[in-house]
């Protein structure tokens, strides 16, 4: 509750002693015991009174009455608990003085902490100075606390901002600027009260409503056009038109109550002051004397009072002459139209109308009343000339209709008035001109039913055309335009249709059992007509049920349970030549299988005894509803399954596209490598010369002594010259190296070395264990031979073979040494590289292709090869 609202409250009742101006009998208001300056006690309703002539006075100087009837205090007033009485005097419009008594009407009870002042009022467009006090808002918590007030919301902190403020200490609401009621008729914002020391709210927020009282600050305005038409010689009181106006001031008050009046033309026209309807005052209006009148109309608010705001405008009143339409041609109109003519204008109908141009009495509407039952025509009005325009919208056929008789009616938009004349109509005769047309088939489309597989040359129908003029088919030829499957042949002279090729209902050329053929007919003048033959293809039982998937899988089950597999069949025929199917085993079945029907198109195949995992073939007989079928063999694989598929099958089919491509790539690389070795082997190095270093004779002699034996012929040991042409460093040849066995003899690598020796000529290599031998030519050493470790036999037939053996071995040795030392410009990457690492190296060592060769310069391994190889080393190193 407001702080100033005390427990003892007074209620005043103003009793009207007069009933003029519709002042209410009583007004109740609640006031505190202590009333501050400017507090509104009550408000007398004077909206229906002339406030200019009213003059209010009060018997108590602490109160005053504003011109709008608001009773406020002009000094701080104490109202005793038993009430207070004073009177208000005023003078009514008749000059008589009246008085209203303010009487006590009982005591007011205090509400608990609910501050709810009455809605406040301010006047729009109030004048300076600002700010002005509006009303005091207070909470009864201020009686026990030191409080302050603030407000927020529209008009305060929201648009329009800053209209209202509050004195925080006293709660006085102030208005800071003029307000336009037409933009904001009401403000609703919140007031809050806080303890000054704790800043805590002492009451709930209170909504404050401020109504903006309207003042007559807007003049009424005209809406709509002020142009009217009335027929000449109309009777007095005939409505000419209605003036419309509006006022944006507050509705339901005199500020928006408009009265209409004429400032000119009052001798001929009259306007209703309340509705704005203009009417004629005489029946002597003559269009030939004056066809247009300009009158001034005034609109004034305040119900036409002198102090009301007003506006004026000029209204135009046009006199019309209500004369019926006259056709320029008073008899009829004749028009010729070619048959099959496309849409277009065929006739203009000129008219004459003496009414005022561009008015409803002049604007003409045309209608075709007869002769257009088929909708072949439409009629419109030319907005410029007011003529009637007849258009053809559907082509005409001379053979069906040679002449059409239309009846066209013309009338104005406005009804006839003040005359007994009637609307006029005129006949229009349309003649259709014949033209030579192409032949027409007896029907645009014909339907023929044909069974599929009908024999060739079978006559299925005739499709002919006639000349529209002669109704004869003489001289007309027939041709096919479209026959996608070439199933039909057409007799050129008679139009007979015969089967040319076997018709198959299951063909993709047939859609829903229908096959279309387009034909054309050509007459002697080469004019054509087209037609369509729709062939309904009937089904016959020309297909038996088939099993599309014949590779079946039966998953092995535990516990001796028999497995089964679903067999699905399909038939291209339609019912009743297809499903339901019957399933049975073929005559040659082995008794280990059984089949039973599952549904119309599927059966269940199962084995009747335990069968091992493998492939089985089972004959099945599937028949359609008519009993037609054949025995078909299906393959059944019994296997262990995962997700319904054989495990072995899954593995065999696990290779993807990329795996297959990788295998093909590897095969291609292997093929290229073989071609490379073949090229090396067959190429003669005519330009390669190697000096004999003299280290070895290229052969080994059998010796059974620990030291160099006397039986060794030193002439046979040929030491090649040192040095190799550097041009051969890129010519790597794959030659088997000579190895050693426990027998102490050296064995030739009979892989690529054997091919090399054979291609060199005069070498025979025999494998003593397998008996395989190869031979190339003969030489001067025809009787010589050598045996190595009782396994291989090598015979050099000429010195060229021996020289080739020696040269290639030396070349390969130097080539490997070169690749191991060169880092730039090398032709092979598979050499030993040094890599930095921390920790212990791998015990496996290098995994390159040459890793088994080790360090060729380290000969310590010879010390571990045994005494026989030591003797061999001494022989090879002998100079």
How many CB atoms neighbour CB 198 within 10 A? 9
Strand residue runs (E) in 505-574: 514-522, 528-538, 551-555, 564-568
- In the chain, the percentage of residues whose pLDDT exceeds 70 is 66
What is the C-alpha radius of gyration for the chain, rounded to an integer number of angstroms?
63
Would you say residue 41 has pLDDT above 60? yes
Stronger pLDDT, 616 or 44, i.e. the higher one: 616
Tell me which residue of 28, 26, 33, 27 sits closest to 10, measured CA to CA: 33
Average pLDDT of the segment spanning 221-235: 88
Give 8's DSSP letter: S
- pLDDT by residue (tens digit) across 458-515? 998 999 898 877 788 888 999 999 999 999 999 988 999 999 998 988 889 999 889 9
pLDDT for res 266: 92
pLDDT for res 382: 92
- Please identify which residue in the block is written with the tokens 């009864």: 140
pLDDT for res 554: 87
Q: Where are the alpha helices (DSSP H) in 749-798?
A: 752-760
Tell me which of 3.30.1360.200, 3.20.20.70, 1.10.1270.20, 2.60.40.60 is the CATH number of domain 221-320.
2.60.40.60
- For the chain, first and last CA: distance in Å? 135
**Choice among 165-169, 448-452, 869-873 with the minimum mean pLDDT:** 869-873
Would you say residue 68 has pLDDT above 90? no
Q: Encoding tokens for residue 364?
A: 């003409």
261-265, 392-396, 474-478, 774-778: which is most confident = 261-265
- May I ask the CATH class of domain 326-433? mainly beta
C-alpha dist (Å) from residue 561 to 45, 551, 643: 105, 22, 18
**Choice among 139-153, 407-421, 432-446, 767-781 with the minimum mean pLDDT:** 767-781
- Please identify which residue in the block is written with the tokens 């109160």: 63
Query: Which pLDDT band, with edges at 50, 70 and 90, does 360 fall under?
Result: confident
Stronger pLDDT, 373 or 766, i.e. the higher one: 373
- pLDDT by residue (tens digit) across 547-564? 888 888 888 887 667 888
Chain length of the chain: 879
Contacts of 560 (CB under 8 A, 6+ apart): 610
Q: Encoding tokens for residue 630?
A: 């054949």
Are 440-531 and 551-652 the same fold in CATH? yes
Mean pLDDT (the chain) is 75
Q: Where are the alpha helices (DSSP H) in 687-782?
A: 752-760
Would you say residue 201 has pLDDT above 70? yes
Let me know the angle formed at the C-alpha of 851 by 848 and 856, rounded to the nearest 5 degrees. Answer: 140
Q: How far apart, in whole angstroms, are the C-alpha atoms of residue 53 and residue 388?
A: 67
How many CB atoms neighbour CB 113 within 10 A? 12
Q: How far apart, in whole angstroms, are the C-alpha atoms of residue 475 and residue 830?
A: 93
At the topology level, CATH places domain 9-213 in Immunoglobulin-like (2.60.40)
Give 93's DSSP letter: T
Q: How far apart, in whole angstroms, are the C-alpha atoms of residue 238 and residue 227?
A: 16
- May I ask the CATH class of domain 440-531? mainly beta
User: What is the pairing mode between strands 528-538 and 445-451?
Assistant: parallel
> Which sequence spans correspond to the domains of the chain?
9-213, 221-320, 326-433, 440-531, 551-652, 655-684, 714-853
Tell me which residue of 578, 358, 538 sits closest to 450, measured CA to CA: 538
Give 66: exposed, middle or buried? Use CB within 10 Å, 0-12, 13-18, 19+: middle
Contacts of 645 (CB under 8 A, 6+ apart): 553
CATH of domain 551-652: 2.60.40.60
- pLDDT by residue (tens digit) across 109-167? 333 344 657 788 999 988 899 999 988 888 878 878 889 999 999 999 999 999 999 99
Let me know the angle formed at the C-alpha of 107 by 102 and 113, rounded to the nearest 5 degrees. Answer: 120
Helix then strand then coil, in percent of the chain rounded to 5, is 10, 35, 50
Q: Cis peptide before 580, with omega less than 30 degrees from 0?
A: yes
- pLDDT by residue (tens digit) across 762-799? 444 444 444 444 444 333 333 343 434 444 445 555 56
Task: Return the exposure string of 288-302: e unless at least 16 CB atoms fall within 10 Å of the residue's CB, then b.
Answer: eeeeebebebbbbbb
Q: How far apart, in whole angstroms, are the C-alpha atoms of residue 842 and residue 851?
A: 13
Give 527's DSSP letter: -
Q: How far apart, in whole angstroms, are the C-alpha atoms of residue 612 and residue 701?
A: 65
Residue 760, classed as helix, strand or coil, is helix
Q: Cis peptide before 730, with omega less than 30 degrees from 0?
A: no
Distance of CA 295 to the CA centre of its chain: 62
- pLDDT by residue (tens digit) across 801-829? 667 777 777 778 777 766 666 555 454 45
Residue 446, classed as helix, strand or coil, is strand
Tell me which residue of 796, 782, 799, 807 sits closest to 684, measured CA to CA: 807
H or E element, residue 874:
helix 867-877
Q: How far apart, in whole angstroms, are the C-alpha atoms of residue 217 and residue 413?
A: 44
| 8 A C-beta contact, residue 73 and residue 35 | yes
Q: How far apart, in whole angstroms, are the C-alpha atoms of residue 746 and residue 248?
A: 128
How many CB atoms neighbour CB 432 within 10 A? 21
Distance of CA 532 to the CA centre of its chain: 40
């Amino acid at each position: 509750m407001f702080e100033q609202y005390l427990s003892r409250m007074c209620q005043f009742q103003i009793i009207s002693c007069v009933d003029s101006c519709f002042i209410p009998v009583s007004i109740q208001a609640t006031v505190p015991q202590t009333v501050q300056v400017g507090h509104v006690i009550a408000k007398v309703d004077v909206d229906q009174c002339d406030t200019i002539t009213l003059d209010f006075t009060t018997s108590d100087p602490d109160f005053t009455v504003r011109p709008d009837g608001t009773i406020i205090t002009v000094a701080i007033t104490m109202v005793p608990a038993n009430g207070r009485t004073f009177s208000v005097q005023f003078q009514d419009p008749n000059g008589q003085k009246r008085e209203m008594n303010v009487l006590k009407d009982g005591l007011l009870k205090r509400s608990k902490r609910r501050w709810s002042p009455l809605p406040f009022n301010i006047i729009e467009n109030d004048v300076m100075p600002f700010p002005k006090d509006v009303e005091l808002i207070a909470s009864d918590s201020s009686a026990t606390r030191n409080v302050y007030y603030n407000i927020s919301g529209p008009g305060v902190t929201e648009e329009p901002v800053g209209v209202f403020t509050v004195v925080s200490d006293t709660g006085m609401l102030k208005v800071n600027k003029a307000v336009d009621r037409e933009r904001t008729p009401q403000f609703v914002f919140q007031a809050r009260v806080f303890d000054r020391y704790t800043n805590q709210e002492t009451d709930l927020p209170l909504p404050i409503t401020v109504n903006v009282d309207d003042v007559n600050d807007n003049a009424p305005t005209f809406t709509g056009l002020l142009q009217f038409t009335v027929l000449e010689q109309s009777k007095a009181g005939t409505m000419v038109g209605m003036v419309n106006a509006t006022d944006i001031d507050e509705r339901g008050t005199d500020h928006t109550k408009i009265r209409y009046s004429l400032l000119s033309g009052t001798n001929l026209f009259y306007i209703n002051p309340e509705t704005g309807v203009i009417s004629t005052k005489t029946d002597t209006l003559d269009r030939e004397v004056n066809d247009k009148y300009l009158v001034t109309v005034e609109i004034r608010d305040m119900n036409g009072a002198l102090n009301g705001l007003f506006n004026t405008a000029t209204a135009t009143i046009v006199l019309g002459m209500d004369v019926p339409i006259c056709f320029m041609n008073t008899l009829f109109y004749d028009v010729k139209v070619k048959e099959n003519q496309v849409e277009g204008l065929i006739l203009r109908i000129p008219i004459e109308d003496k009414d005022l141009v561009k008015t409803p009495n002049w604007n003409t509407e045309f209608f075709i009343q007869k002769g257009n039952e088929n909708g072949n025509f439409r009629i419109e009005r030319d907005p410029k000339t007011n003529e009637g325009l007849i258009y053809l919208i559907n082509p005409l056929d001379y053979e069906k209709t040679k002449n059409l008789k239309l009846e066209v009616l013309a009338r104005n938009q406005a009804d006839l008035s003040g005359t007994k004349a009637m609307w006029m109509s005129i006949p229009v005769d349309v003649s259709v001109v014949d033209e030579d047309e192409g032949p027409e088939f007896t029907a645009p489309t014909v339907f023929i039913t044909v069974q599929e597989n009908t024999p060739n040359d079978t006559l299925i129908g005739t499709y002919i055309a006639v000349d529209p003029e002669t109704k004869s088919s003489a001289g007309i030829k027939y041709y096919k335009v479209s026959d996608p499957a070439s199933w039909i042949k057409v007799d050129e002279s008679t139009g007979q249709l015969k089967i040319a090729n076997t018709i198959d209902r299951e063909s993709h050329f047939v859609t829903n059992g229908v096959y279309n053929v387009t034909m054309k007919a050509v007459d002697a003048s080469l004019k054509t007509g087209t037609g369509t033959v729709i062939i309904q293809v009937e089904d016959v039982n020309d297909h038996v049920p088939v099993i599309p998937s014949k590779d079946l899988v039966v998953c092995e089950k535990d516990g001796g349970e028999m497995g089964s597999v679903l067999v699905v069949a399909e038939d291209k025929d339609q019912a009743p030549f297809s499903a339901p199917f019957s399933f049975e085993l073929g005559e040659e079945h082995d008794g280990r299988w059984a089949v039973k029907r599952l549904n119309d198109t599927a059966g269940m195949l199962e084995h009747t005894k335990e069968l091992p995992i493998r492939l089985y073939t089972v004959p099945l007989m599937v028949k359609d509803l008519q009993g037609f079928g054949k025995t078909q063999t299906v393959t059944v694989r019994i296997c262990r399954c995962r997700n319904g598929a054989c495990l072995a099958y899954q593995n065999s089919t696990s290779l993807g596209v990329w795996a297959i491509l990788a295998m093909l790539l590897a095969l291609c690389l292997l093929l290229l490598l073989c071609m490379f070795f073949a090229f090396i082997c067959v190429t003669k190095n005519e330009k390669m010369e190697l000096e004999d270093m003299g280290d070895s004779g290229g052969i080994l002699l059998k010796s059974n002594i620990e030291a160099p034996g006397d039986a060794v012929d030193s002439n046979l040991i040929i030491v090649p010259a040192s040095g190799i042409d550097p041009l051969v460093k890129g010519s790597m040849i794959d030659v088997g190296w000579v190895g050693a066995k426990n027998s102490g003899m050296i064995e030739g690598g009979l892989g690529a070395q054997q091919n090399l020796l054979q291609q060199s000529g005069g070498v025979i290599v025999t494998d003593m264990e397998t008996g395989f031998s190869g031979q190339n030519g003969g030489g001067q050493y025809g009787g010589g031979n050598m045996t190595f470790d009782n396994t291989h036999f090598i015979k050099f037939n000429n010195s060229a073979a021996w020289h080739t053996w020696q040269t290639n071995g030396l070349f390969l040795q130097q080539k490997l040494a070169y690749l191991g030392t060169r880092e730039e410009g090398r032709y092979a990457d598979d050499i030993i590289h040094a890599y930095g690492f921390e920790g212990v190296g791998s015990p496996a060592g290098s995994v390159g292709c040459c890793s088994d060769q080790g360090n060729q310069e380290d000969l310590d391994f010879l010390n571990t090869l045994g005494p026989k190889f030591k003797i061999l080393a001494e022989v090879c190193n002998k100079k």
